[in-house]
């Protein structure tokens, strides 16, 4: 990589920088050549690597399940059909055990979340230098300086991706709450709990306190959902980068951490799915 003349700090920073496109105050619409340029592009800058891998892996998930659905048979099933049936049954049982409302969206949503997040997390097992090195070679073909070609492979190590997914779940929480309980029910949940009194004057005094507590609780759901996934995957990717800097020791250490990291990859996808189901179940419960 360009890392031959890089210090350890520069090597780590290079691997953790996204391929960013945006409107720079001085250069206009262009690719960022440094972390500072990416920062200067502001909120509307686009992380092309995160978007590309997210869309690509999502398309892979859809293609696999579509292929299995078209080839489904009551005879001897293929390995892909067995896998898809296993995943559908696992997610279906999780939804039945946790979600207490009625919705045709929750099960497909949960299956999509689990498989999509798992595939994005799985990219963490690809050796950290391989794909960035290929991206640098492609960049050189177009006249770019290899030191300025950034390429992050794991979408869930980008907080924009994890918070984007969690905000989508948050939107569904609001939608289901209002659909099941109405606007008045939604406002009542924010103002009449957890402190309640039969005395109307006392209850009026509780309203601001309840609103503050319940609003914080509500907003904490998408924030914790996105940050939990991002934090675990970012830390795992950082360890892989540190292992890659250890020369001859990197292969056995990489294997050991990869075996352990498989559990983290699966667990984080499962947790994101289960919390989504739990939050949506709380949204439809009437009490």
At residue 250, does pLDDT exceed 80? Answer: no
Query: Phi and psi dihedrals of 22, rounded to 5?
Result: -170, -175
- In 3D space, the residue among 141, 2, 121 whose CA is nearest the CA of residue 53 turns out to be 121
Whether the per-residue pLDDT at 224 is higher than 60: the answer is yes
d(CA 195, CA 44): 41
The range of the structural domain enclosing residue 57 comes to 2-284
Segment among 127-131, 166-170, 279-283 with least mean pLDDT: 127-131
Count of domains for the chain: 1
Q: How far apart are CA 154 and CA 118, in angstroms?
A: 11
179 catalytic residue (yes or no): no
Dihedral sign, Cα of residue 219, residue 104, residue 228, residue 44 = negative
pLDDT in tens, 6-41: 778 888 888 889 999 999 999 899 999 888 999 999
Helices (H) then strands (E): counts for the chain: 9, 3
Residues 80-104 have pLDDT tens digits of: 889 999 999 999 999 999 998 888 8
Question: Is 199 one of the annotated active-site residues of the chain?
Answer: no
Catalytic site includes residue 232: yes
Choosing from 27, 103, 228, 281, the catalytic residue is: 228
């Amino acid at each position: 990589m360009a890392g031959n003349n890089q210090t350890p700090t520069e090597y780590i920073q290079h691997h953790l920088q996204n391929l960013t496109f945006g409107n720079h105050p001085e250069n206009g619409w262009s690719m960022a050549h440094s972390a500072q340029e990416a920062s200067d592009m502001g909120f509307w800058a686009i992380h092309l690597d995160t978007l590309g891998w997210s869309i690509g892996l999502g398309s892979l998930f859809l293609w696999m399940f579509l292929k299995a659905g078209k080839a489904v048979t009551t005879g001897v099933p293929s390995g892909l059909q067995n896998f898809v049936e296993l995943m559908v049954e696992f997610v279906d049982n999780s939804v039945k055990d946790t979600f207490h409302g009625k919705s045709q969206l929750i099960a497909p949503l949960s299956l999509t979340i689990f498989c999509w997040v798992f595939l994005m997390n799985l990219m963490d097992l690809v050796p950290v230098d391989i794909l960035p090195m290929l991206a640098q070679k492609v960049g050189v073909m177009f006249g770019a300086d290899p030191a300025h070609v950034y390429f992050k492979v794991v979408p869930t190590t980008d907080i924009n991706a994890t918070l984007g997914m969690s905000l989508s779940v948050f939107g569904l929480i609001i939608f289901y709450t209002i659909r099941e309980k109405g606007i008045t029910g939604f406002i009542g949940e924010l103002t009449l709990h957890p402190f309640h009194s039969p005395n109307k004057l006392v209850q009026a005094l509780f309203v601001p306190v309840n609103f503050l507590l319940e609003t914080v609780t509500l907003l904490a759901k998408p924030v914790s959902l996105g940050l939990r996934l991002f934090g675990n995957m970012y830390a795992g990717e950082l360890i892989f980068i540190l292992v890659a800097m250890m020369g001859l020791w990197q292969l056995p250490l990489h294997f050991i951490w990869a075996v352990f990291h498989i559990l983290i990859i699966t667990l984080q996808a499962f947790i994101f799915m289960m919390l989504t189901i739990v939050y949506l179940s709380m949204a439809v419960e009437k009490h």
